[in-house]
Structure 1
Amino acid sequence: MAIITLTTDFGEKDYFSGAVKGAIYSELPDVRIVDISHSISPFHISEASYIIKNAYQSFPKGSIHIIGIDSELTPENKHLAVLLDDHYFICANNGILSLIASEIRPAKIVEINIHDKIETNFPVLDVFVKVACHLARGGTLEVIGKSITEIKYLKQFEPLINTDKNQIIGHVLYIDNYGNVVTNISRKLFDTIGKGRDFSVSARSVSFNEIHETYSDAINFNIDKEKRGEEDGKKLAVFNSAGYIELAIYKSNPTTVGSAASLFGLENRDTITIKFE
C-alpha cells in the first residue's frame, strides 16, 4: 500500500490540508496519508527542509512526499517531481530540494508539465495530488514531466569557514516546539574543522565550551537535585538527534519559564560562531 506524506505551511485552522487529503482519498481510497507537519512557518524553506530531511528517512522506500511550501506556479517557480534516495518528492523548484538533497544526489528530476490539463489556483490540491496519485499507482516520472538536470540551489544556507580553518560561522536554522535553537552546523562539519581542538560556541550573550551528547548529560545526577541548576534553567549545547548543534535550556517550557530562543534572544538566521584554539 502506497504512503503519501504531507508537509505544508497551511496550519490547522483553514480547510487546505483537509481538502488535499480528501482529493487524494477520492483518487486512491486505500492509500495511507501521513502528516509530517502543517505548522511550517509561512514560506519558510529552510525550516521545512530541516523537518522533511530528518523525517523522510524513517518512511519505507518508495514513499511519496508532497511539500506544499511556496508552491504557486510562476516562470521562476516551476514544479518538480524527484526520485531521491528511493523516495519521491513533489515540490516547487524554490531551493528546498537542494537543502534536502545536500548530501545525496537525486536519481531523477522532472519538471512537471501537466498544468495545461488541469485548471487550478491551488497547485498542491490539484497538480501535486495528481502527480502523487500517479506515482502511487506505479506510474513513471517521465509521464508527468520532462527530465532536467539542474535545480535551484541555495548556497547562502551553508555555514562559512574562515581561511585559517579555526572558525565556523553558522546561523539559527530552526526553533523547535520546546524553544530549542537548532543551528545549521552539523556534527560532521564540527568534527572535520575542529579536529579535537578546544572551542567556544557563542551566540549573542551566551557561550559554551562543551557540547553534550544528550540533554541529561548536562546534569550531574550525583549531587542533590536542588544544587543541579535545573530549576534556574540549565543552559546547554548538544548534538541533537538530527546531527546538528543545538542550544537549549534543560526541560524548558516556552509558555512558562521561557526557552533557549527567548532567554538567549535568538531568532531565525541569527549568527552562531564557533572558534577553535
Structure 2
Amino acid sequence: MAIITLTTDFGIKDHFVGAVKGTILSNLPDVNIVDISHAISPFNIQECAYILKNAYRSFPEGTVHIVGVDSELSPENQHIVVQVDGHYFVSANSGVISLITSEVKPEKVVEIRIPNVISGSFPVLNVFIQVACHIARGGKLEVIGRPFNELRELREFEPRIIDNGKTISGNVIYIDNYGNVVTNIQRSLFNAYRNGRDFEVSARTTKIKEIHTSYNGIINFDLDKSQRKGPGDALALFNSAGYIELAIYKSDLNSVGGASSLLGLNYRDTVTINFL
C-alpha cells in the first residue's frame, strides 16, 4: 500500500488538514496517510527540517512526503520534488530538505510543472496532492517536472568553530513538547574537536560540564536519594537524533516549566561548548 505523509504548520483548528486528507483519498482511496506533524511553528523551516529529518527514515522506501510549510509559489520559492534516500519529498524550495541532502546526495530533483494548475494560496491542496498521488501510483517524475539544480540550503544555522578549535558556537534549532532545547551541534562535530579535553556547555548563565546519553544519566544511583541529582536539575545529552540537547530532568513545560523557559532559551539563541 502506498504511503503519503504530511508535515505542515496548519494546526488542527482549521479545515486545511481535513481538506488535504479528503482530496488525497478522493484521488487515491487505498493510500495510507500518516501525519508526521501539523504543529510546526508557522513558517519555521528549520523546525520543519529537523522533525522531517528525524522521522522520514522510519518509513519504508518509496514513501511520499508532502511538506506544507511556507509553500506558496514565488520566483524564489519554486515547487519541487526531491528523490533522496529512496524517498520522495514534495515541497517548496525553502531549504527544508537541506538537512537531509547535506548527508545523502539526491537521486533526482525536479521543478514541478503541471499545465493548467493555479497554486493560489493553498498549493498543498492544488498542486502537491496531484504530484504526490502521481508518484504514489508509480508515475515518473519527468511527467510532472523538469530537472532542477538550484536546491536552497539552510546555511545560517551551521555551528561555527572559533578560537582555533577551542570553542564550538551553535544555536537553538528546536524546542520540543517538553521544553527541551535542541541545538545544531551534532555529536560527531563535538567528538571531532574534543580531543580528550574537559569542556563546558554554556547557555546564558547555565554551565554544564557533562553530556549524557540518556535523561536519567544525570542520576548517580550509587548515592542515597537525598544526595542525587534528579527532577528539576539541568542536564545536557546527546539525543536520539545525535544532537546536543539541554533539558530539565522530569520537568513539565506547562506547569513548572522546561529548559526553554527555565534557562531562558529561545529559537536561534546561542549555545557554546568551550574546551578547557
- What range is the shorter-chain TM-score in? over 0.9
The answer as to whether partners of 1:237 and 1:245 remain within 8 angstroms in 2 is yes
Q: Deviations over 1:170-193 (max 9, x none)?
A: 000100000000000000111111
Counterpart of 1:127? 127
Question: What is the match of residue 26 of structure 1?
Answer: 26
Q: Which amino acid aligns with 1:248?
A: A
Identity of aligned residues (%): 61
More moved, 34-43 vs 96-105: 96-105
Which residue in 2 is equivalent to 1:156?
156
Partner of 1:255: 254
Distance, in Å, in 2 between the alignment partners of 1:56 and 1:32 is 15
Q: Which runs of 5+ in 1 are unaligned?
A: none
- Secondary structure in 2 aligned to 1:39? coil
Q: What TM-score does the superposition give when structure 2 sets the normalisation length?
A: 0.97
Query: Following superposition of structure 1 onto structure 2, how do residues 32-111 of structure 1 map, counting pairs within 5 Å?
Result: 32-111=32-111
- Asked if the contact 1:21–1:33 (Cα under 8 Å) also holds between the matched residues in 2, the reply is yes
Note if 1:168 corresponds to 2:182.
Answer: no
CA offset at residue 22 of structure 1? Answer: 0.4
Contact 1:202 1:273 in 2 (8 A): yes
Whether 1:274 aligns to 2:273 is: yes
Shift of 1:199: 0.9
- 1:240 has 2:236 as partner: no
SS state of the match for residue 247, structure 2?
strand
Pairing of 1:171-190 with structure 2 (within 5 A): 171-190=171-190
Deviation at 1:198, TM superposition (A): 1.1
Deviations 1:131-152 (A, max 9, x none): 0000000001111011012211
Distance between the aligned counterparts of 2:162 and 2:227, measured in 1? 40
Deviation of the 1:258 alpha carbon: 1.1
Kindly provide the CA deviation profile for residues 44-64 of structure 1, in whole angstroms up to 9, marking residues without a partner as x.
Answer: 000000000000000000100
2:88 aligned partner, one-letter code: Y
Q: Does 1:144 align with 2:144?
A: yes
Contact 1:50 1:100 in 2 (8 A): no
Work out the CA distance in 1 between the residues paired with 2:122 and 2:196: 51
Aligned residues: 276
Report the equivalent of 1:264: 263
Gaps of 5+ in 2: none
- Equivalent position SS for 2:156: helix
Indicate the residue corresponding to 1:217 in structure 2. 217
CA distance in 1, matches of 2:115, 2:201: 48
The offset of 1:119, in angstroms, is: 5.9
RMSD: 1.2
Tell me if structure 1 keeps the 8 A contact 2:218–2:230: no
- Shift of residue 163 of structure 1? 5.4
The code of the aligned residue for 2:7 comes to T
TM-score normalised by structure 1 residue count: 0.97
> For the structure 1 residues 55 and 215, does the alpha-carbon distance in structure 2 shift closer, same or farther, using more than 3 Å as the test?
same
CA displacement at 1:157 relative to structure 2? 1.3
Deviations 1:174-218, CA, capped at 9 Å, x for gaps: 000000000000001111111222111101010111100111111
